[in-house]
């Protein structure tokens, strides 16, 4: 491919510098045609390879976007369920204003201890 470009540019420069080279233009055109055939195949193969790589990237992006949409849908359903049932304890992976599950359990233990003390006072 580079040889074809080099010969084409060389022929142009030679004919611009010395017009007598136009008499042998047929020889140069034959050489350019001989080299141009494989060069065209190489360029075509490079473009096809590049096109396949881009198609693969696009399909990867599409599958990633589909996964993100599915996860967003699941999260939306989860948050809607949590709003409908606020008395349920959230999973340890989810933190809210009350903190993680361990802090919620600790506060519940303290409330139980206080209730037990109140019951003991009433006895």
Question: Is 32 within a domain?
Answer: yes
Q: What confidence category does residue 55 fall into, taking pLDDT thresholds of 50, 70 and 90?
A: very high
Range of 40's domain? 1-83
Return the higher-pLDDT residue of 96 and 35: 35
Q: What φ, ψ does residue 99 adopt, rounded to 5°? A: 100, -165
Return the higher-pLDDT residue of 87 and 44: 44
Give the pLDDT of residue 43: 83
Give the pLDDT of residue 112: 93
Question: Is 2 within a domain?
Answer: yes
Question: Is 121 within a domain?
Answer: no
Question: Is 79 within a domain?
Answer: yes
Q: Which residue intervals of 1-100 are DSSP H helices?
A: 2-17, 25-84
**Tally of domains within the chain:** 1
Question: Is 65 within a domain?
Answer: yes
Global pTM reads 0.39
Question: Is 3 within a domain?
Answer: yes
Name the average pLDDT for the chain.
79
Over residues 63-100, the pLDDT tens digits come to: 899 999 999 999 999 888 888 877 766 555 555 555 56
Question: Is 119 within a domain?
Answer: no
DSSP helix/strand/coil, 86: coil
Question: Is 23 within a domain?
Answer: yes
User: How many other CB atoms sit within 10 Å of the CB of residue 33?
Assistant: 10
Least confident stretch, 4-18, 23-37, 89-103, 108-122: 89-103
Q: What confidence category does residue 33 fall into, taking pLDDT thresholds of 50, 70 and 90?
A: confident
């Amino acid at each position: 491919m580079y040889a074809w470009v080099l010969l084409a540019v060389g022929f142009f420069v030679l004919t611009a510098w010395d017009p007598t080279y136009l008499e042998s233009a047929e020889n140069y055109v034959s050489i350019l045609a001989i080299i141009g055939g494989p060069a065209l195949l190489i360029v075509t193969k490079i473009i096809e390879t590049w096109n396949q790589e881009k198609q693969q990237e696009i399909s990867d992006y599409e599958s990633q976007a589909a996964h993100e949409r599915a996860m967003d849908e699941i999260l939306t359903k989860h948050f809607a369920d949590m709003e409908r049932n606020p008395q349920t304890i959230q999973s340890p992976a989810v933190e809210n204003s009350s903190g993680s599950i361990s802090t919620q359990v600790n506060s519940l233990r303290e409330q139980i201890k206080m209730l037990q003390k109140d019951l003991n006072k009433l006895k």
